Structure 1
Amino acid sequence: MQRNVFYRTINNHVEENKAIYLFTIVLLFMGVIFGAIIVNSLSFAQKNDLYAYLSLFFGQVEQGEFASSTEMFTQSFAHYGKYLGLMWFLGLSVIGVPVIFILLFIKGLVVGFTVGFLVNQMGFDGFLLSFATVFPQNIILIPIFVVVATVATAFSLKIWKQITKRGYEPIFQYFISYSIFLLVTGASVALVSLYEAYVSPTVMQFIFSWIN
């Protein structure tokens, strides 16, 4: 019965906010596309400078010159936590909604640029590297960002309805659920950070040794 209630709650949430979900998904993928387009708009000198920096990083990876796994986990978790925490905070005000969408677009832009640049410079090897080191964590992160952006926007709209007297909204109840939701996403982000700290470096070393 509890499982049925859970699924019913999720289904009701998606049905109620499907227009927002559609918008956020399209916005994110627009960011990915724009990121890939930006790669092609870079000058030859800019691409060389970026690739020189990446080559230096790749050399350190091959030699195993990483920061400690604990430090990498802390930095990764803090980065994602601050990003999602900012989205949550912006959802507390109506004027924060445009910034939430900008942050989501930037996330897509970074992913698109990273994958596009690696493929542009390294061909199939770049695609393989992207698939092994960028795809695994983003298959979790991208849905998290979409859901957080949608939930934050929906909460902001409920506040707007309350302000404009367009209907009674139990804001405090929604706020509690909204805050608990952030803690749940924090657990998911912790799993991603663990992967980036303890698994991704080993995968990268294996890919580089296979490429070379």
Structure 2
Amino acid sequence: MIVLGVNLKKIFNNHFQKYIFLYFLVIVFLMIGISTGAITIRTVDDTAREQIINYLGSFSSIISKDADLNTIKVFRYSITNNIQTIIAIWLLGITVIGVPIVLIIIALRGFIIGFTVAFFIKEFKIKGLTLSLLYLLPQNVFLIFGFIVTSVISILFSISILKNRINVIRRPSFLNRFVNYTITMFIISIIIIIGSLVESFTTPIFLKVINNYLTVFMK
């Protein structure tokens, strides 16, 4: 068991070192998305701000009326949303033109995180920062890591397809590469599932806390 763990660690280290540039590229797009989301909050006018607050306030009725709001429901929603993203990234990896779209997906993920955190900080100040750290950070540690790795794997597969189209003589079996690609994506998706599990436990608490803040805020 220890030997297996050491071997896996060595494989992961070699992989990250070999493709450090791609990881850097994906992380750059993620940071661009986060920065853009955080900056965009400054352009939100009072009307849009009230609409966002009213939208968040609608959770008040959901929480109060739906006594069965639990981890199972949240997990189903989270896993469906995240698996759809993984499938999209997996499919885009099969096409060379999918590389820029994968980077855009990562940037959009970053945008949502940046905008959400910036909104809570702007509206609730230090309490908003605390809420973001306690209830948004835990699941995103797993989700962001999982999406970064799957994005790199997807890009690598696209690049391999392009290389093997050019170098037909040395082209290995596409089916074997496709199966390995799919299995790798499936294994990494386990990290995404863990993130969804964490989210399913933190989200109901998060919504109730936000509901309490909004109730006081909108009075």
TM-score, reference length from structure 1? 0.88
Corresponding residue of 1:81: 83
Amino acid paired to 2:17: E
Counterparts in 2 of 1:177 and 1:36: CA distance versus 1, 3 Å: same
1:183 matches 2:186: yes
- In 1: Cα distance, 2:67 partner to 2:32 partner: 35
- In 2: Cα distance, 1:127 partner to 1:178 partner: 39
Amino acid paired to 2:110: G
Contact 1:51–1:121 (Cα < 8 Å) also in 2: no
Counterparts in 2 of 1:18 and 1:135: CA distance versus 1, 3 Å: same
Contact 2:35–2:111 (Cα < 8 Å) also in 1: yes
- In 1: Cα distance, 2:66 partner to 2:195 partner: 21
Amino acid paired to 1:37: I
Amino acid paired to 2:183: I
Corresponding residue of 2:149: 147
Residue 94 of structure 1 aligns to a residue in which SS?
Answer: coil
- In 2: Cα distance, 1:161 partner to 1:96 partner: 15
What do you get for the CA RMSD once the two structures are aligned? 2.5
Corresponding residue of 2:132: 130
Cα offset, 1:209, TM superposition? 6.2
**Matching residue within 27, 30, 45 for 1:28:** 30
Q: Deviations over 1:64-102 (max 9, x none)?
A: 756343222111101100001110110011011111111
Corresponding residue of 1:102: 104
Contact 1:31–1:108 (Cα < 8 Å) also in 2: yes
Counterparts in 2 of 1:199 and 1:108: CA distance versus 1, 3 Å: closer
Amino acid paired to 2:59: F
Amino acid paired to 1:195: V
Contact 1:94–1:159 (Cα < 8 Å) also in 2: yes
| Structure 1: unaligned runs, 5 residues or longer | none
Counterparts in 2 of 1:16 and 1:179: CA distance versus 1, 3 Å: same
Contact 1:162–1:168 (Cα < 8 Å) also in 2: yes
| Structure 2: unaligned runs, 5 residues or longer | none
Contact 2:70–2:204 (Cα < 8 Å) also in 1: no
Residue 97 of structure 2 aligns to a residue in which SS?
Answer: helix
- In 1: Cα distance, 2:107 partner to 2:202 partner: 27
Aligned pairs for 1:43-62 within 5 A: 43-58=45-60, 60-61=62-63
**Matching residue within 86, 90, 93 for 1:91:** 93
Corresponding residue of 2:204: 201
Amino acid paired to 1:119: I
- In 1: Cα distance, 2:169 partner to 2:11 partner: 21
- In 2: Cα distance, 1:119 partner to 1:27 partner: 23
- In 2: Cα distance, 1:62 partner to 1:205 partner: 9
Contact 1:132–1:204 (Cα < 8 Å) also in 2: no
Corresponding residue of 1:119: 121
Corresponding residue of 1:67: 69
Q: Deviations over 1:26-55 (max 9, x none)?
A: 110110000001110111111111112213
- In 1: Cα distance, 2:180 partner to 2:165 partner: 20
Between the two proteins, the alignment pairs up a number of residues equal to: 212
What's the % identity of the aligned pairs? 25
